[in-house]
Amino acid sequence: METDRFQPVRFDSGGRGPYHARAMGNPLLQRRAPQELAASRELIEIKAKVSDFERLSETIAKDLRPPDRDGLPDDWRDSIVSGQLRFGFNAAQGDLPTASGQAAVTIAAVCQRCLQPFSLPLQAELKLVFGEGGGGDYEQWELDDDQLCPADLIDEALVMALPLAAMHDAESACKAMTVAEEKPGRMRTPFAGLKAQMGKEN
Ligand SMILES: [Zn+2]
């Protein structure tokens, strides 16, 4: 067991969690061989900002936030991605190196139905195997070279977890749905007629 490594990472202390104190720096951003990560049973506690994940930042900016929409918080890139990633060898995966864990973040997005800002919770489960021959419920991760950056695994998983169209889950929360019920389009005509009539009398 490695329970001694499950230490809370404190943000109010300036972002210097226990793992930052190590001379090697932030393991989330270090490129290492999966065999090496697996051999040391590396457990990475994830506490990072959306801006630390390149593809996620780009995709959110492009798909979830229309650039001409005013009144949106600008600090969405500071939203905290939290989670855990554990490396090891898995006998069921031919003793290949694996990574498993989860990541979560809440993103300030824009509802594509009513164009109002809303909080979009994202969650991703990771079950990855490095090398030929793995399978089952583990997804094979293609390595560009013999090393990987753990942040890339999280980045990819969160991008894959993004909805095709971001919108309010509950119809009751969505302005587009409630407005459509309360104000049928036909109501416009009598009011327009009344206004025209009042205009004549004056
Ligand atoms: Zn909506």
> pLDDT by residue (tens digit) across 25-69?
789 999 999 999 999 999 999 999 999 999 999 998 888 876 666
Tell me how far the alpha carbon of residue 73 lies from the centroid of ligand 1, in angstroms: 17
Tell me how far the alpha carbon of residue 157 lies from the centroid of ligand 1, in angstroms: 25
Tell me how far the alpha carbon of residue 56 lies from the centroid of ligand 1, in angstroms: 22
**For the chain, percent of residues with pLDDT exceeding 70:** 71
Domain extent listing, the chain: 3-169
Taking alpha carbons only, the member of 121, 97, 96 closest to residue 109 is 121
Tell me how far the alpha carbon of residue 178 lies from the centroid of ligand 1, in angstroms: 9
User: Buried b vs exposed e over 174-183: b needs ≥16 C-beta within 10 Å?
Assistant: beebeeeeee
Q: What is the mean pLDDT of the chain?
A: 79
Tell me how far the alpha carbon of residue 12 lies from the centroid of ligand 1, in angstroms: 33
| Distance in angstroms (rounded) separating the CA atoms of residues 126 and 139 | 8
| Distance in angstroms (rounded) separating the CA atoms of residues 141 and 148 | 10
Tell me how far the alpha carbon of residue 191 lies from the centroid of ligand 1, in angstroms: 27
Tell me how far the alpha carbon of residue 69 lies from the centroid of ligand 1, in angstroms: 14
pLDDT score of 97 more than 60? yes
Tell me how far the alpha carbon of residue 68 lies from the centroid of ligand 1, in angstroms: 17
pTM: 0.73
Tell me how far the alpha carbon of residue 53 lies from the centroid of ligand 1, in angstroms: 26
pLDDT score of 133 more than 90? no
Tell me how far the alpha carbon of residue 174 lies from the centroid of ligand 1, in angstroms: 4
